[in-house]
Structure 1
Amino acid sequence: MQPPVPSFTTTWHNAPYPSISPTRPELSAAGKTVIVTGAGSGIGHATTASFARAGATKIILIGRNKVNLEETQRSLPCASSVHAVDVRDEQAVPNVASAVGRWDMLILAAGYIPTPASILDSSVNEWLEALETNLKGTLILAKSFLPPTNPIHAAVIGYSAAVTFPAAMLPGLSAYTISKTAVIKLIEYTAAENPSIFAAALHPGVVDTPILRKTGVDPTTLPMDDADLPANFAVWLASKEASFLKGG
């Protein structure tokens, strides 16, 4: 199936490929503490598995659903801890950050999408909940976790989907795309204000997740991506290889 938008590369990948395999020695996360939000399902769940395959020493699982987080935890071969908190909670998230202490990689995979509706027909409260979770949640995580980062090499990767598509292709998704566009700028400022940190927004592709299903999209009509593809790419991006993106 052809890409839904023009591809900027000669090869369009829908599944993991060898050059971003988390088992490559140069992508090793050995000795690293990795934090993953939204770790209980979807791309967040897949990302924890990829960092585990990369040899992460410890993975911190953050999300709202404790049962899902514990299921993810049972699948991991490395040390891990579960923190069932809402990323919008301005008291609970800093407490988690204090408990975790120094970390090396922060992966922002938590997200919320309202029921699709035009701006005119949207519920104001539900529309704003997308901003609360996607934008405010990212802000709280940044303010809470940035102080105790590894001062030598720390990476912040935020998944930010759908923002590359024009509005006409995404009817009813104004709250989600606007909030995720704002997240990109927040991550950009994080990088500018913290030069010792590598920070980037990553479009995860089109993956069959609960969020995608809520948009009403039929997965059979699009070239779906394996969840391991963005997960493995996040490992590559957060690795030392990412230093060349900083001019290193």
Structure 2
Amino acid sequence: MAASFGALYGCLGGFGGVFRASRGWLGGHISGVKHLVLIGRTESTLRETEGLIPANSATVSAFASSVTDEAGLKKIAETVGAWDILILNAAHISAPAPLVKAPLEEYWSDYETNVKSIIIAVQAFVPNAKAGAAVYAIAAGALVLPPKLTPYLSGYLTSKLAQLKVMEYLAAENPDLFVCSVHPGMVDTKIFRGSGASPDQLPMDTATLPAHFLVWLSQPKTKFLNGKLVWANWDVEELFAKAEEIQNSTMLTIGYEGWPFVPAA
């Protein structure tokens, strides 16, 4: 896809999850990419991830830093310079617990990683974005479900909901960027297991699905999804069929159900 050739990709965090779950994920992103930048908390995990990348594919730069380290990420952004695609993949899920009993420090860690790190990253990197650059944040599909169906996960899901709104603001305030939140599908990762879910209870997807979806998303003809939340396991032809409706409405964004209030015909 034309948008990926010669590009500089940056990926922040999450290397123990979807990113490292499949060589296909890596290969799908690296095809035609000139430079891949990895940013994660631990040096050892970065090196392991770097080892999964096919030889002779792309120049790889790895930086060890917490995604909530504002000074650290600003320094990395200065070193990296101009970029084409930024993938915000870091996530944290606290142990499932009732809201009134959840340990506050662990609960708030969800917000530190799932919201604060997004803000830190865009403040550090967006000033150096190339024309037409794209920012993708990995979302949580369960955030759209009623709380009665997802009890004891308020820390994780409300923080991912806030993350989604931050991305909507990023899109609205930066018309030169392509901004999209992507639910990767039902992939067996540490976050998935941390929610209490089990692969034998749900229809599962493979880790290559979000990889291929993000490559597909990097085409110019997907720009109608700017500022939207999309799921990697949706039918892309159906998305194209609804392109005009999606682009010109609040569809696939977070809002108040039933608003604007229109009298029944």
Question: Given the two structures, how large is their TM-score scaled by the length of structure 2?
Answer: 0.79
**Residue 154 (str. 1) matches residue 133 (str. 2):** yes
Gapped runs of 5+ residues in structure 2? 227-243, 248-265
Gapped runs of 5+ residues in structure 1? 1-25
Matching of residues 96-135 of structure 1 within 5 Å: 96-135=76-115
Q: Which amino acid aligns with 1:85?
A: S
| Alpha-carbon offset, residue 105 of structure 1 | 0.3
Q: Is the 8 A contact 1:156 1:200 kept in 2?
A: yes
Rounded to whole Å, the distance in 1 between the matches of 2:225 and 2:192 is 30
1:70 equivalent in structure 2: 47
1:51 equivalent in structure 2: 29
1:29 equivalent in structure 2: 4
Q: Is the 8 A contact 1:27 1:236 kept in 2?
A: no
Aligned length: 221
Q: Is the 8 A contact 2:4 2:218 kept in 1?
A: no
Matching of residues 1-248 of structure 1 within 5 Å: 26=1, 29-45=4-20, 46=22, 47-52=25-30, 54-76=31-53, 77-151=57-131, 153-161=132-140, 162-245=142-225
Rounded to whole Å, the distance in 2 between the matches of 1:48 and 1:87 is 21
Rounded to whole Å, the distance in 2 between the matches of 1:58 and 1:240 is 21
Q: Is the 8 A contact 2:14 2:91 kept in 1?
A: no
Q: Which amino acid aligns with 1:51?
A: H
| Alpha-carbon offset, residue 43 of structure 1 | 1.6
Cα deviation, 1:131-175, whole Å, max 9, x if unaligned, reads 011100000001000000002x20001111121222112111101
Q: Which amino acid aligns with 1:38?
A: G
Equivalent position SS for 1:116: coil
Q: Which has the higher contact order (CA 8 A, sep 6+)?
A: 1
CA 1:109–1:193 in structure 2 vs 1: closer, same or farther (change >3 Å)? same
| Alpha-carbon offset, residue 225 of structure 1 | 1.0
Equivalent position SS for 2:127: coil
CA 1:100–1:48 in structure 2 vs 1: closer, same or farther (change >3 Å)? farther
Q: Which structure has the greater CA radius of gyration? A: 2
CA 1:104–1:218 in structure 2 vs 1: closer, same or farther (change >3 Å)? same
